[in-house]
Chains A and B, each alone.
Chain A
Amino acid sequence: MMFAQPEAHEAIAQGAHEAAAEGFNAGELLIGHVSNSPLDHPLIHLPTLFGIDFSVTKHVFMLWLVAATVFLVVTVAVRSYLRQEQMIPRRFMNSIEALVEYLRDSVVQPNVGAKWVRTWTPLLLTLFVFILAANAIGLIPIFDVVGLLNHSVLHLDPESFLMRLTHGGTTATANFNVTAALAMVTFGAIIVAGSKAHGFVKHWKNLMPGGVSPALGIVLIPIEILGMLVRPFALTMRLAANMTGGHLAILAILSFVFIFTEMAGAAVGMGVGLVFSVPLAVGISAIEIIVVLVQAYVFTLLTAVFIGMAIHAHH
């Protein structure tokens, strides 16, 4: 699984005959491309504390990279804007301002209401920008290029840091653990929003639908609690599954080239690639660019809707 990726590049670099000789396993290649680096082979080994392995895997590394990138880009832009003499946003700052205003006025305000918009816009903006950056960076094949360079020029040591980076997927938001953590933030925010708007006890009382008989109310309490837990789960699955799905589709279509090469020779493989795989993969990549935006947007919108439901919980 771990070496599936270099094998594929080798096949590209050294001609299709070798790929046929090695045997092409599409399933292994696909899983190797979208999965995290294996736990027995992480980027940086760290000790296990309290039964939790703190080793840095590729998705953890990508999370840090995305967080650092977002932090640096936004901080530098905002700082340089604040240093200006006239408060006129220019160039990049303009787009940041447009994004902030758009999310505040079109997503947060209609859902949480004018009273709470300043409280919840920062959280929702953070979620949006972070998910967008993680999705978008995952779409850029940075480390695949490193792997390709390695086979043609660099010839790195297989145990080196850069070489380990080429194992496993790069989209941190395609990992269910990452999206589960993000959804937990949403889960916490829903409770905090309800507690801030109505008080802690009233927030939990709001879960009980008003105007029903006590017997029915007792039946409805577990259903309400389950519904509360289901919402972050739906957010988790939606984001991770969408991000994994797009990558799998592109890779599956591209792997047709190797499957046909193995079955009917290099010429047929090349033909399938030129006529079918590459154009379709380009098309799906273009759709993926939209998906990257839409998924970040939907996560933010749904979080805003759920927070709004906790705030406006009248029955």
Chain B
Amino acid sequence: MPNQKRGLARSLQVFQDTVVTAGPAAGASYTLIGAIILLGGIGFAVDRWRGTSPWFLLGGLALGLIVGFYQLARAVWRK
């Protein structure tokens, strides 16, 4: 980073570097939440459809946790 950059430009640059470094982590966190919501939601829908509450919801949430944490682990262990 050139030294003549000061003030706002420099803070923006630092912010930018942080955000780009955080990109994969943000991806992993969104995948974790997304997996739990998507698979839990599918489980909830199946429960509503077949009247089997709460088993598919619980199974979906558990599967979502497994998928989400697996993706998170992959993102963490990449480095």
Where the two chains meet, the residues of A that have a C-beta atom closer than 8 Å to any C-beta of B are: 106-107, 110-111, 209, 220, 223-224, 226-227, 229-231, 233-235, 237-238, 298, 301-302, 304-306, 309
Contact = CB atoms under 8 A, between A and B. Distances in A.
Contacts of A237: 34, 37
Contacts of A229: 38
B58 interface: no
Contacts of B66: 223
Contact of B20 (A106, A209, A226): A106
Across chains A and B, which 8 residue pairs bring their CB atoms closest together, nearest first?
A: A234-B34, A234-B30, A230-B35, A305-B27, A305-B23, A226-B67, A227-B71, A233-B38
Nearest to A294: B19
A242 to B, nearest CB: 12
8 contacts: A227-B31, A227-B71, A230-B31, A230-B35, A234-B30, A237-B37, A301-B26, A302-B30
Contacts of A301: 19-20, 23, 26
A238 B32 CA distance: 13
Interface string B6-41: 000000000010011001101100110111011100
B69 to A, nearest CB: 10
Contact of B30 (A110, A235, A304): A235
B63 interface: yes
A297 B16 CA distance: 11
Contacts of B63: 226
B68 interface: yes
A307 B5 CA distance: 32
A226 B24 contact: no
Contacts of A298: 26
B70 interface: yes
A231 B24 CA distance: 12
B34 A230 contact: yes
Contacts, number: 66
B67 A230 contact: yes
A48 B39 CA distance: 32
| Number of chain B interface residues as a range | 20 to 34
Q: Is the interface of A mostly helix, strand, loop or mixed?
A: helix
A223 B16 CA distance: 33
B38 A230 contact: yes
A223 B67 contact: yes
B73 to A, nearest CB: 10
Nearest to A102: B16
Nearest to A232: B34
A226 B35 contact: yes
Given A223-B70, A226-B39, A230-B68, A238 B30 contact: yes
Interface in B54-79: 63, 66-68, 70-71, 74
B19 to A, nearest CB: 7
Contacts of A111: 20, 23
A231 B34 contact: yes
Contact of B70 (A107, A227, A238, A309): A227
B23 A302 contact: yes
B30 to A, nearest CB: 4
B20 to A, nearest CB: 5
B11 to A, nearest CB: 15
Contacts of B31: 227, 230-231, 234
B36 to A, nearest CB: 9
Scoring B30, B33, B70 by chain A CB atoms within 10 A of each residue's CB, the highest score goes to: B30
A306 B67 contact: no
Nearest to B34: A234
Given A227-B31, A234-B33, 14 more contacts: A209-B74, A226-B39, A226-B67, A227-B35, A230-B39, A230-B68, A234-B31, A234-B34, A234-B35, A234-B38, A301-B23, A302-B26, A302-B30, A305-B27
